[in-house]
Amino acid sequence: MSTSFSRRSNSKVKNGKGPKCASATSRQRHRFGDCCKGTTLLSLPASYPRGVQSYPVLYLTDAQWNFEHTRATAAFLARNVIIPEMIIVGVTNPDRTHDLYATRADFKHNGRTIPFPNSGNANRFLEFFEKDLIPWTETTYRTAPLRILAGHSAGGNFALHAMRVKPALFQAVMAASPWLAWDDHKELKELVPFLASDKVLARTFFFTYADEGPEMKADIDALTSALRSRKDTSLRWDSATYPNESHDSMVIKSYYDALRMIFAGWSYPRDPQTNFLKGSLDDVKAHYRRLGERLGFALLPPEAIVNELGYQRLRMNNLDAALAAFQFNTELNPQSALTPN
């Protein structure tokens, strides 16, 4: 199911005016500055229309290639209660070197030079996120204060650039095979001292690369060395290598692993003998409260977990505990099909 609508980047969309269809993909044309056109794709989680809770938002570049598989990955992980449901906002980039690199440069490889005269507008693209796309999303939909930025290749370079020049804009960053060789590694040279400093405000960072040769490996090693030299533990970070994948094929695994890393601990503990959820409703609330503290915002327990706990207590003839779980779920998700009669 999909809905199409268009807007300019500085238009104002009032709360409640956007599409509200469950699992819908909405498309809108955007324009930033006077030269670049693209499409913004938006996916709402299936539970959105029937609840009152807020959702993290995953912002995605290169949506023309990466939106559908990322949407499917997030839905699969949420369905298996490995990550929370989330809103996904993807932006297509018809001219990638224009949008995703911060400096004007040509591509040089094996003695060849490929000119890119329109490159180097990443700061304008980032301004579109900061002043238009994010405010519009957060005004129109119920969003939690957790913004995730994901980018692959040139988009990975953009994600790292955004992390550096707008450190408070995104709380988690996913950079899949970031192409840092652009313009004689200029972004990398700025990133290394930044990542080693106390100026990093993101809470979580995950980056990856595949079987891509010595230059890419050297760039990734430079990022890793800078992160290992950090004096504080405020940033959770990790990386992964996919030796059996190419630069293009590794993005699906990258985003899957990155989401799992960001939301590590989302799955609630179970008794290994019975597979029952451990503890009481208060224990469930406390578990997700602690996880929210790590992520930086107040978290509510997943609807499916609370519902399962309620039926477990019902089978055990603990009617008071079952009723408490069902009442809690009903308050959070009044229109849910899971709400008992």
State the pLDDT confidence band at 299, using cuts at 50, 70 and 90.
confident
Domain with 41, as residue range(s), is 2-262
State the pLDDT confidence band at 117, using cuts at 50, 70 and 90.
confident
Pair (318, 197) in one structural domain: no
Burial of 231 (0-12, 13-18, 19+ CB in 10 A): exposed
Pair (288, 204) in one structural domain: no
Look at residue 321 and tell me whether its pLDDT is greater than 60: yes
Pair (151, 285) in one structural domain: no
When divided into structural domains, the chain yields a total of: 2
Pair (44, 182) in one structural domain: yes
Nearest to 206 by CA among 193, 223, 230, 218: 223
Pair (161, 248) in one structural domain: yes
Higher-pLDDT residue of 38 and 41 is 41
Could you give the CA distance from residue 163 to residue 237 in angstroms, rounded to a whole number? Answer: 13
State the pLDDT confidence band at 26, using cuts at 50, 70 and 90.
low
What H or E segment, with its residue span, contains residue 224?
helix 214-228
Pair (238, 176) in one structural domain: yes
Look at residue 341 and tell me whether its pLDDT is greater than 90: no
Look at residue 20 and tell me whether its pLDDT is greater than 70: no
Pair (318, 176) in one structural domain: no
State the pLDDT confidence band at 21, using cuts at 50, 70 and 90.
very low
What H or E segment, with its residue span, contains residue 237?
strand 236-242
Q: Could you tell me what percent of the chain has a pLDDT over 70?
A: 87
Look at residue 334 and tell me whether its pLDDT is greater than 80: no
Pair (142, 72) in one structural domain: yes
Q: Tell me, what DSSP letter sits at residue 175? A: E
**What's 258's domain CATH number?**
3.40.50.1820
Beta-sheet strands, E only, within 44-166: 55-60, 87-91, 107-109, 112-114, 143-152
Pair (185, 320) in one structural domain: no
State the pLDDT confidence band at 311, using cuts at 50, 70 and 90.
very high
Least confident of 104-113, 132-141, 142-151, 301-310: 104-113
The verdict on residue 338 lying in a domain is no
Pair (10, 123) in one structural domain: yes
Look at residue 173 and tell me whether its pLDDT is greater than 50: yes
> pLDDT digits over 263-296, tens only?
999 999 999 999 999 999 999 999 999 999 998 8
Task: Fill in the amino acid letter for 293.
Answer: E
pTM: 0.86
Position of tokens 């990133």?
Answer: 191
Look at residue 338 and tell me whether its pLDDT is greater than 70: no
Pair (147, 11) in one structural domain: yes
Pair (49, 93) in one structural domain: yes
Q: What pLDDT sits at residue 9?
A: 33
The verdict on residue 273 lying in a domain is no
